[in-house]
């Protein structure tokens, strides 16, 4: 058996916080960490797998042998397996080999991995950050430029398709984007950029909303330090960086969170609560304390390690309602008989409270498509605590209005005036987002009536209306 030492980064207080769902920087302890133990450098591994019979770490350092480096379970009932492997360092490939209670053998990536192989390969990679930040000026003044009383003009971007080379076959790297994209956004006068999910995901042609590596920027475009460089470059030019964050669901890919230790560790066993019918994915169990520690730790990680300035939370409506996209009999009411997901509500409030306590100069934004009251109201007044909410009704009504020929618009003025009835009930952001170009909807230009000159005139009118309407603005790349 290869050399492995019984070592831990946890103390008893950390474990109690993890069990209580209050360990909000769990990534300091779980995952892989390059440390020194008894004068010898190596990698400390720790993974939460409470129902596993055995857990070992395998990789390119032991010939992918599942029996070479077994991890030890902690004595405290936390379900954490850990161990120190001497001699390992940055760049080592690894997976967790898990023997389930039923005797199945499964391989999993590290939920807390900082770096992954380029898909379709699925190994996690030991990593340590080396980037030297140069955004001190931005970080000092961030509270002055990110208040709710400040202007926001956000450019929404999918990194993989913003601009390509070699006849459209090769996406730009993080380093390339640090020059070309930063200069473009600066020249266009945007105050912020928002990236569609950069976290590791298996399917390249997708937007990135099926996340398997929550703590790692996708390796398709470069190293983690390269993504830090990209964020740093934006900050040096006075431009804020927002990330799409997906705590609403995760995919069922074999190397991801699903069936992690042979059980529904991160989701619900009952598909009426744990399966998302629209996306065929798994719904997080917000009532499980260790899952809350995982998710809130992940949110803080991007603010801590990558200096991002805010998070836009995807699909909040699907989290709030137990009957979201479900027919009668396909969902389980809450303890009061209602359709509100009380666990998700508590989670979102705690998420926002934690983010604003740690980073009062950051911003959280909800993509919430219903009339749920108080999304951007403080939690102490009964709200969810977000800083802003996407104004989905405005987007729908406005685009419906502009598709009409100008001669007929006199019969549809209600579509551009109704939003003013509720414009001040939330802190709204007006989105012309990626959702409006998918599934064959076409570009904004394609929706405008008339010839090319008239379409450009309508586009100018649309943007003029958008930027004089109460709220902040977001536009998808085009």
pLDDT per residue as tens digits for the range 168-183: 778 999 999 999 999 9
Q: How confident is the model at residue 2, as a pLDDT?
A: 64
pLDDT level of residue 164 (50, 70, 90 thresholds): confident
Q: 437 or 328: whose pLDDT is higher?
A: 328
Is residue 1 over pLDDT 60? Answer: no
pLDDT per residue as tens digits for the range 201-230: 998 888 889 999 999 999 999 999 999 999
Which value, to the nearest 10 degrees, does the dihedral of the CA atoms of residues 167, 170, 173, 178 take?
20
- Structure tokens, 367: 């993509």
Q: How confident is the model at residue 5, as a pLDDT?
A: 92
Is residue 418 over pLDDT 50? Answer: yes
> Can the peptide bond before residue 157 be classed as cis, meaning omega within 30 degrees of 0?
no
pLDDT per residue as tens digits for the range 41-77: 999 999 999 999 999 999 999 999 999 999 999 999 9
Choose the catalytic residue: 110, 135, 367, 397: 367
pLDDT per residue as tens digits for the range 371-397: 999 999 999 999 999 999 999 999 999
Q: How confident is the model at residue 441, as a pLDDT?
A: 72
Q: Is 368 part of the annotated catalytic residue set?
A: no
Q: How confident is the model at residue 473, as a pLDDT?
A: 97
**Alpha carbon distances (Å) from 220 to 142, 204, 215, 227:** 30, 9, 15, 11
Choose the catalytic residue: 225, 244, 314, 415: 314
Q: Which of 7-16, 94-103, 370-379, 443-452 has the lowest mean pLDDT?
A: 443-452
pLDDT per residue as tens digits for the range 289-340: 999 999 999 999 999 999 999 999 999 999 999 999 999 999 999 999 999 9
Q: How confident is the model at residue 391, as a pLDDT?
A: 96
Domains delineated in the chain: 12-125 (2.60.40.10), 136-390 (3.20.20.80)
Mean pLDDT of the chain: 96
pLDDT level of residue 439 (50, 70, 90 thresholds): low
CA distance 201 to 197: 9
């Amino acid at each position: 058996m290869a050399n492995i030492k019984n070592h831990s980064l946890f103390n008893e207080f950390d474990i109690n916080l993890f069990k209580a769902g209050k360990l909000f920087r769990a990534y300091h302890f779980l995952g892989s960490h390059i440390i020194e133990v008894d004068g010898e450098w190596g990698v400390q591994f720790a993974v939460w797998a409470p129902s596993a019979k055995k857990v070992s770490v395998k990789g390119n350092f032991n010939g992918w042998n599942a029996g070479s480096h077994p991890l030890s379970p902690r004595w405290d009932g936390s379900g954490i397996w850990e161990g120190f492997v001497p001699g390992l360092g940055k760049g080592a490939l690894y997976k967790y080999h898990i023997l389930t209670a039923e005797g199945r053998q499964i391989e999993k990536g590290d939920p807390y991995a900082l770096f992954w192989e380029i898909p379709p390969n699925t190994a996690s990679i030991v990593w340590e950050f080396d980037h030297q930040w140069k955004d001190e000026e931005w970080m000092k003044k961030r509270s002055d430029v990110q208040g709710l009383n400040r202007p926001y003009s956000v450019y929404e971007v999918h990194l993989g398709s913003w601009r390509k080379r070699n006849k459209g076959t090769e996406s730009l790297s993080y380093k390339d984007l640090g020059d070309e994209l930063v200069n473009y956004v600066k020249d266009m006068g945007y105050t912020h950029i928002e990236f569609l999910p950069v976290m590791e995901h298996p399917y390249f042609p997708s937007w990135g909303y099926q996340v398997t590596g929550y703590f790692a920027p996708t390796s398709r475009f470069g190293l983690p330090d390269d993504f830090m460089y990209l964020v740093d470059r934006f900050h040096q030019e006075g431009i804020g960086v927002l990330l799409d964050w997906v705590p609403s669901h995760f995919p069922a890919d074999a190397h991801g969170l699903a069936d992690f230790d042979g059980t529904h560790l991160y989701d619900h066993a009952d598909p009426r609560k744990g399966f998302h019918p629209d996306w065929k994915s798994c719904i997080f169990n917000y009532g499980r304390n260790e899952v809350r520690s995982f998710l809130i730790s992940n949110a803080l990680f991007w603010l801590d390690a990558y200096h991002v300035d805010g998070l836009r939370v995807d699909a909040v409506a699907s989290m709030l309602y137990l009957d979201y996209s479900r027919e009668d009999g396909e969902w389980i009411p809450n303890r009061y008989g209602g359709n509100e997901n009380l666990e998700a509500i508590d989670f979102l409030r705690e998420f926002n409270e934690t983010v604003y306590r740690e980073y009062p100069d950051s911003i959280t934004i909800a993509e919430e498509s219903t009339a749920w009251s108080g999304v951007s109201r403080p939690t102490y007044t009964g709200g969810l605590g977000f800083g802003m909410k996407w104004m989905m009704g405005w987007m729908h009504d406005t685009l419906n209005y502009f598709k009409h020929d100008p001669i007929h618009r006199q019969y549809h003025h209600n579509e551009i005036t109704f939003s003013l009835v509720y414009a001040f009930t939330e802190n709204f952001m007006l989105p012309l987002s990626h959702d409006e170009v998918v599934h064959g909807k076409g570009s904004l230009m394609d929706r405008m009536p008339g010839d090319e000159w008239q379409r450009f005139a309508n586009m100018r009118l649309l943007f003029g209306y958008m930027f004089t309407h109460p709220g902040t603005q977001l536009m998808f790349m085009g």
